[in-house]
Amino acid sequence: MRIVMMGTGSFAEPTFSALLKNAFPVVGLYTQPDHAGVKIRGSTRLAGSGMKGIAEQAGITIFQPASINTPEAIAELQALAPDLLVVAAYGQILKPAVIATPKLGAINVHASLLPKYRGASPIAHAILNGETESGVTIIRIVPGLDAGEMLAQEAVAIAEYETTGELEMRLAALGASLCTRVIQQLQAGPVTGVPQDSALVSKAPKFTKDHGLINWAQPAARIVNHIRAMQPWPTAYTFFHRPGKEPMRIIINRVQAVEVAQQPGIPGEIALKPASGFIHVLCGDAQVLQVDELQPAGKKRMTAEEFTRGYAIQPGFHFGPEAS
């Protein structure tokens, strides 16, 4: 069985490594073109050198077409004579001509419990929506977005304050294991999948940087989920407002809900003078969030205690949008 791997970023790396560890005959790697200035941050949607490094060490030919769907790229793929495509966070939609190239078709390692969260950002959307579990589904690739029949699926619990990046690392390892199992089954003979229930489909489209802006008028639990979901990209942010000063953009890295009496005031208001380095912020449900880690624009990530040493909290200070 001749296999071509297609993937980009840290989510794909464990699957690629597992193929090599299990001595599957990988005849080529397709990964996204290099982008100047892009750093590896743990996101499946960011291009990095990890996949290329694995391929180079194993002596596998690397292909980086801007589009896999051009006649030239398809001809190049056909020349490899693959039996199977293994796809994990590749970042390009495969057209029917690409899917039809391998004899056994193509399978995808998808980081959700399909049919929920089809699309580019399934892990972040699961956390944003307060799901208590996520998982990985191996599907046959068909022209519809993440719509193919399911060949394997396994669920994991989401920890209370787990971020997208942290959960992604766990799901990447799980995906590698499930993918290996499915390929072994395909080697043994035809595999019958399970159709997805179209009535249960939900979407997980890409995020933009603007999605990171925190809306303090939302309930505390929703804000906690939002901040977790935006890590490591695009990150959750707000603006720090002080009388007589320009708004300061701040990334909020870690928060937790705290059990205090409901507080009167405006959402985003820093509710209590920090004690022991805590920063308490009012939310839309009159409850309070405690900010534990944050990063002012142009500065390093720091604890709330470190922040309050440099910016003594005074009455009237609050978080909000830039034009608050």
Same domain, residue pair 158 and 215: no
Q: Tell me the three state secondary structure of residue 268.
A: coil
pLDDT for 146 beyond 70: yes
CATH number, domain with residue 20: 3.40.50.170
Q: Tell me the three state secondary structure of residue 4.
A: strand
Q: List the single range of 17-31, 67-81, 103-117, 270-284 with lowest mean pLDDT.
A: 270-284
- pLDDT of amino acid 309: 87
182, 225 in Cβ contact below 8 A? no
- Which residues lie below 8 Å from residue 122, measured CB to CB, with a gap of 6+? 110, 111, 112, 116, 134, 204
Per the structure, the count of domains in the chain is 2
Q: List the single range of 6-20, 141-155, 308-322 with lowest mean pLDDT.
A: 308-322
Same domain, residue pair 246 and 118: no
- pLDDT of amino acid 265: 85
Same domain, residue pair 225 and 128: no
**pLDDT band with cut points at 50, 70 and 90 for residue 86:** very high
Q: Is 126 left (phi over 0), alpha (psi -120 to 50) or beta?
A: alpha
Question: Does an H or E element contain 290, and which?
Answer: strand 288-296
313, 277 in Cβ contact below 8 A? no
Domain span at 239: 209-320
Q: What is the DSSP string of 241-292?
A: E-TTS--EEEEEEEEEE-------S-TTBEEE--STT-EEEE-TTS-EEEEE
Same domain, residue pair 192 and 66: yes
Q: List the single range of 36-40, 74-78, 191-195 with lowest mean pLDDT.
A: 36-40
Does 309 or 165 have the greater pLDDT score? Answer: 165
Same domain, residue pair 239 and 302: yes
**pLDDT band with cut points at 50, 70 and 90 for residue 49:** low
pLDDT for 259 beyond 80: no
**Strand 279-282 to 106-110 pairing:** unpaired
- pLDDT of amino acid 273: 59
- pLDDT of amino acid 115: 98
Residues 293-305: tens digit of each pLDDT: 999 999 999 999 9
Q: List the single range of 152-156, 261-265, 283-287 with lowest mean pLDDT.
A: 261-265
Same domain, residue pair 42 and 85: yes
Same domain, residue pair 16 and 82: yes
- Which residues lie below 8 Å from residue 53, measured CB to CB, with a gap of 6+? none
Task: Give the integer Cα–Cα distance in Å for 21 and 24.
Answer: 8
CATH number, domain with residue 223: 3.10.25.10
Same domain, residue pair 291 and 214: yes
DSSP 42: S
